[in-house]
Amino acid sequence: MNFSAEMIAGFLNGTIEGDPKVEVNNIAKIEEGKHGMLSFLANPKYNSYLYTTESSIVLVNKDFVPEKDVKATLIRVDNAYESFASLLELYQQNRFQESGISANSFIAESAEIGENLFLGHFSTIGNHVKIGNNVKIHNNVSVGDNVTIGDNTEIRSGVSIYYDTIIGKSCYIHSGTVVGAEGFGFAPQSDGKYKKIPQVGNVVLGDFVEIGANSCIDRATMGSTRIADGVKIDNLVQIAHNVEIGNNTVIAAQTGVSGSTKIGKNCMIAGQVGIVGHLTISDGTIIAAQAGLSNNVKVPGKVMQGSPAMELRNFQKSSVYFKKLPELAQKIQELEKALKALEIDR
């Protein structure tokens, strides 16, 4: 489908410099743009590409001042990056317009289904499930008994949603994710064996939650594992039983959060972070990549780094000494030799 500069500017409330009738039908990075494509420029590092790109339309910030002539039609907007993200969302919606219920799928008679459900091949809907309007459930998805799924949520292929899970509106769950599997609960016995502890709680996802591919969110032992509105979780993330994550927190890939930890609002947790159980992490905390957090973060807005994690300033000071450890060790060895020599001389 073709979009003119006029249409795009109208959608973004932008202003046009160039040909308002020029059309695009695809998107590209500014350095790879071709005729009929749309790109954006937000980072000054890429300014030079604006003068060589073959893209037909480029989004730029309103305050951007070109240094020389530009061949492309410019659309000036308040924030080029955010505007481009909005266009990507529109592009995605128009690109994939699945509809209908596959004859190869299964829906239990007791399930309550909203309007305009898309249900892919070999997907199953369990007993007493409640599904809202405009929900998309792709191929090979298993939705267990008593699950609730809110309006406009999309669930990609191969997702498993265990019984009693509650999923809010406008959520997006990527392929291979498991929501509601039993938490890792085993009690050691006197004979050295482990006895399984039944996990009888559930998982509750708020609205506008996104979960990356092959992540796992475990059901609570009792009560609920809770992921609040606006949380974004990357691929290959493990969220253990009874964890609570506050609004608009983001978690990058390969992070593991142990049981009963409470993470506040608007936190940023980078990749490969490990968080031990039963911690409380205050709002606005930032945890750097590969950190190992073993203590509560009581003050909001702290930046933590290292393993064991410490405040960023302390980590930076310590890292100066980390680099010098071989040199310091050699000096200690030399001092020990000198002391032994003094003792012999006595």
> Does residue 241 have an active-site annotation?
yes
Active-site pick, 121, 138, 241, 278:
241
**220: nearest Cα among 170, 162, 153, 173:** 162
**What single DSSP character describes residue 98?**
-
**Three-class SS state of 148:** strand
Report yes or no: 176 and 158 within 8 Å, Cβ to Cβ.
Answer: yes
DSSP secondary structure letter of residue 47: G
Q: Are 243 and 228 in contact (CB under 8 A)?
A: no
Tell me the C-alpha to C-alpha distance, in Å, between residue 161 and each of 181, 182, 332: 8, 11, 58
Return the axis-axis angle of helices 325-345 and 312-323, rounded to nearest 10°.
50
Cα–Cα distances in Å, from 99 out to 52, 83, 135, 137? 41, 28, 10, 10
Of 249, 253, 100, nearest in space to 261 by CA? 249
Residue 47: burial class (beta carbons within 10 Å; 0-12, 13-18, 19+): middle
Whole-angstrom CA distances from 179 to 86, 241, 278 are 28, 11, 21
Give me the active site residues, please.
Answer: 241
